[in-house]
Structure formats: C-alpha cells, structure tokens
Amino acid sequence: MRANQRQGAASWGGVIKLDSTTAFSVPDSKGFRVNPGHSPQTKGHFLDSGRRRGTRTRTRRRTRMDNGSFSTGDTELDQAVEQWLQYDKNLKTASMVRDLVKEGAVEALKKCFSSRMEFGTAGLRAAMGPGTSCMNELTIIQTTQGFCCYLEDSFENLKEQGVVIGYDARAHPPSGGSSKLFASLAAAVFISRGVPVHLFSDITPTPFVPFTVSHLGLCAGIMVTASHNPKQDNGYKVYWENGAQIVSPHDKGISKAIEENLEPWPQSWNAEEALKSPLLKDPYQEIHTQYFKAIQKHCHHRDINKSSEVKIVHTSVHGVGHTFVQSAFKAFDLHPPYAVEEQKDPDPEFPTVKYPNPEEGEGVLTLSFALAEREGASVVLANDPDADRLAMAEKQESGQWRVFTGNELGALLGWWMFRCWKQQNSDAGAVKNLYMLSSTVSSKILRAIALKEGFHFEETLTGFKWMGNRARDLLDQGKTVLFAFEEAIGYMCSPSVLDKDGVSAAAIAGEMVSYLATKNTGLSQQLTSVYEEYGYHISKNSYFICHDQDVIRTLFERLRNHGGQKDSYPVECGRFAISNVRDLTTGYDDNQPDKKAVLPTSSSSQMPKIKYYTELCAAPGNSDVAHLRKELDDLVDAIIENFFEPKKNKLQPKPE
C-alpha cells in the first residue's frame, strides 16, 4: 500500500503488507513499507516431562490397558496412539507414549497426536519427541517414504542420479533423536528403493546441501536442521534438482505422498545395513574442496587480505560454522578470525545463549564482544547454528558496539558486490545483464542502487525459496545474478548456492572490512556513504503476538473490506494518505493496469505473530536522518493505532 502525507506536510509515502502477502508503498522520492505478516512458530513442542511449552499441568483421564487395548474417550486419538505403537520401533518414544497412556495424560497425548506435522515449502520443523506432531524416527521415516515416492514419480533417472543428505549437530537424548540419526534413517529409506544416497559423514552447513545438488546434478537434497530454533527442535529441509528449495505444488504433492506411505517399509528402520550399502557415498571431501574453490571466484582483493591488520571475531553459536568459516577465510587469504572458545564447538544444548539466533543481537554476542575487547578486534561476525545466516557488528568510536540489521548488512554487501563486479567488467553493456534480488519484506536499497547504476532489481515473495528459484530461472536465461538478500540476515553472494549462505557471506564481509580499512573507513561510515549516494532507507520492523486466529482473520478482513464495503481498502492512515495497495493473499494490486498482482498469490499463515515491516526511502540528498526517523515513527504509530488496534484486539507486543 503506498501512502503519502496529506496536504500541508512534506511529500512522501510508504507500504503495508497483509498476512505476509499484502504491500502498501510510497513514491520513490521518499517512502515506507509496512508488511504485516506472520512468522513461523514451532508446532507441537514436547518437553521431557510430557508437557508442551507453557503448559504446567496435564489433564488426566482414566485409561484402560488390557492386552494392549486402551481408551481415552477419544476414538480418533485412541486409533492414532494404537497405530503409533504398532509402527514405532524406537524404545524411548514408544515408552514415552505408553507412559502417557498409563498416566491417563490425555491432553499430553492430544498434543502429540492431534495433528501431523504439516509439510510445507520449507519442509518440516517441530520439537523432537513422540507422536505425529513431533520430529522423531518414525515421522522421519514416514516423511522420507513419501518424499521418495514423489521423486520416483517425478524423475525417471532417480536411481541413476540419486539424492544428497546433510545434517547439523542437534540431538534430544530424552527421545533418542538426533540430526545424524534422522539423516541415516532417511538414507536407509532411499537405499531400500535402490536410490543412490550421498550422505555426509560429518556435520555440514546447510549451504553445502544445495551446492551438492547443483554440483553433482542430483535429483534432490535433504538437510536435517532446525537452524536457529530452540534446542528441542529439529527440521527437514528439502531442495529440488535445480538447487533451490521446493515451492508449490511440490509441497502439496509430497504431503499427499507422505499420507499414502505411513506404514514403515521393511528396510526403513535398518540404518546400520544401509550404511554398508554400495549405494551409499560420502561426498564430504569432494564438496568441501569444490565449495571453497567456487567461492574463491568472489575474492577480488587477495593482496589486501594477506596484509590486512584488521582483527575480526567469529562465533558459530554452538553450531556447525566454526571449521567452515575458518576455511573460507583461508580460501580468501584472510587472517583467521578469533573464535569464541565457549561457542566454537557444536553443542545441542546451546549452553551460553537463551536463543541460538544471532538476529537477537547483543544478547547472543556478549561473549563475542568480550573476546573482541580482549584482542582489540573491531568487527564481530556471527553465524546461526546451521551457518546459513550471518550477523555483523562493529565497534564505534564511542566504544559502543553497533549490530547491523539485516537490511543494513544487505545494503553494504550489495554495494560491495556491485563495486567488485564493476571493477572486473569493463564492458559498459554488461550491466544490462546483471540482476540483484530481495524479498518483498526487505529493504529496497538494491532497487535504488539498480536505478542509478543500470542493472536489474527484482523482488520476490518472502523466503529464499522464491529468490533461489527466480535466480535459477535467470541463470538459465544466461543472466548474471550477483546478489540476493532477505532482512532476516540471509545473503546469497554466489550463484553456486541458490540459498542463503552464511559461510561465503562471512568471507566476503571479511574482505570488505579489510578493503575499507585501507581507506581508513569503517562499516558504519561506508553505510552512511551508501545512503548518501543512493538515498536513506530506514526500516522499523516488529510484531504482535495473537493466539486467537479469529482476531487475526477479523483484523485483516476489516482492512480488505474497509468501512464495511466489500473489497475496499483504506485510503488513509492517520495523517498519511494511502496511494497504492498490493494484497498478495487475494492477488490484488491497484498499481497494475489490470489490478492483478505481479507476484504470485500466497495463502494466509496460521501462525500467532502478526509481523509488520516498514521502510522510509528518501531521495538522494535528503540526509536529515533525525527527521526521517521521526516521520517513520509517526507512520508506524498511525498504522498500529488505526489498523492493529492492539488494546481492542488484545495483541501482545514483541517482548523486549
């Protein structure tokens, strides 16, 4: 939705997004975007005690267990539990379920069995534990059987090309689950059908899986990881033959195939035998070598890197990133970063952080800042546990640390990637073949750079699955895709990985820092220079929590039927006039001649967060940052008051 100030105020505007899929925008001279949407939430958290997170008590009901039969009073639940105990060969999860039955813990059983994990375009993500709503050996087998059948129907050459499977270091001793075990069981399923499997022999960063799919020409890839989720979670991420994450309709097809293949096949549990199969290959050494060879193509200042005196600290936040970032720095001839000793080794307990997510900022980086102070380092780099994302911080002259937002680091990396490309390409016409991408909820700074420099910029729906698939389309057309990013600290700096990659991004950021040091310039100064040249882009993103789906639905229906008129959107928000609405849930865009959105439609989420993303985009030359921030603050306040009405709708603000 584009919004302009009313008469009597300086002219500018902005954007709103509904259900992660509706956008309101402003004129290019100066603008903001507000993209209210929903963000992922882990389903079916099962704690060691049998309670769901946030639940203190169990509802107990008398059950009966005679000769294996029992009754909870809920026929569907009884059938689900009975089938589970028939299929499950994991003694720990089966015992957990039997204990819940004996104790009459009906509510706990419902949380384990009331629904099956939904297989979406991001695959699966849930807590590890027993039942169909959790990640465990049986649900991994069932999921992989469905995925295998779907691939058999999709590829005639599946038994020649095969698949790749990687995993992180997550583990859940109470249920016996771990990423490595889940990966082995997934391999057993494929091997039982005669499908070659490239199973990594050790933990790997998520980017290695899409790289392997592309490099070896495989049919698909699986990464077992929950990325930056809480420690009890795990996930199952899927890549297609093009090296990008799956998009619809593959998710629906795979989900249907899973439902049709719930009973474990005879060899699906036999991971030990599968590991001895000639169909099993270990790609670790080859991919390790080829990956770092591929990203070296983006190293443009090797001499500067060798002589750089800049000190950088790196943390992998108890994840897999340490070894690989050290290797990436070596590939760029950068001095190795100082590693945060307490966090460099993989640890599924994540003992030093409340949340293993660098996006949380200073709370996750406390140990990094302390090490930087001791060693005299000026820059901190942080990966999330599966090393597909990157955060960066810089010590300021005041002595304080500045943690860059995902949009700010996207601006810096976008500027740097284009600068290096321009130095390498003397043909003035080559820029017409160049593309950069970002998602609809991310800063439009790349658009501003593209307008001035002459290359192409495209936006996609939220999620790297969309950017990865669009990048593949462009590459297949002979285009150059230089860079893509999303505000949630995800960056694609090399077309060899069509997904976010925190390992290559770390090395490229290290080279950028080293280069800037030769100009006596820091990251904050350079970011200011980027904004001065291309226009300030100031963002303000947050969310409200609402567990009542009816409230969320009513809130957005009111926006889509403003004033009680069907299919009528707001024309103003406080003192701001709305000039354009784009609603990707319904496919509406009044900025297009036919009122149809260019981006594909996307269904509303069922998650409990209502997120909003705002950005004020000023014209080059307008450098009154304090005034611009005040304008953005006023706009956000107006949106919250007029559209969200948090008190009336009992919305909980983001926890501080």
User: Any idea which residues carry the catalytic annotation?
Assistant: 227
End-to-end CA, the chain: 28
CB atoms within 10 A of CB 185: 24
In terms of Cα–Cα distance, which of 655, 643, 646, 625 is closest to 34?
643
Tokens 């949106």 correspond to: 639
- What residues have CB less than 8 Å from 292, skipping those under 6 apart? 327, 328, 331
Contact 18/27 with Cβ under 8 angstroms? no
Half-sphere exposure of 471 (CA within 13 A, CB side): 30
Query: Burial of 379 by CB count in 10 Å (0-12 exposed, 13-18 middle, 19+ buried)?
Result: buried
Instruction: Provide the token pair at 175.
Output: 């249920």
Phi and psi at 199, nearest 5°, equal -105, 120
Contact 209/218 with Cβ under 8 angstroms? no
Helix segments in 336-405, DSSP class H: 362-375
Query: Burial of 471 by CB count in 10 Å (0-12 exposed, 13-18 middle, 19+ buried)?
Result: buried
Helix and strand numbers (H, E) in the chain are 21, 27
Cα separation, 642 vs 582, whole angstroms: 18
How large is the C-alpha radius of gyration of the chain?
25
Instruction: Provide the token pair at 441.
Output: 């909820």
Q: What's the helix, strand, coil split of the chain in %, to 5?
A: 40, 20, 40
Query: Burial of 138 by CB count in 10 Å (0-12 exposed, 13-18 middle, 19+ buried)?
Result: buried
DSSP, residue by residue, 67-99: TTB---S-HHHHHHHHHHHHH---HHHHHHHHH
**Total residues belonging to the chain:** 656
- CA distances to 35, 224, 288, 604 from 207, rounded to whole Å, are 28, 12, 11, 28
Q: Is the dihedral of CA 444, 450, 452, 453 positive or negative?
A: positive
Tokens 């950068």 correspond to: 334
- What residues have CB less than 8 Å from 336, skipping those under 6 apart? 326, 329, 330
Cα separation, 330 vs 373, whole angstroms: 24
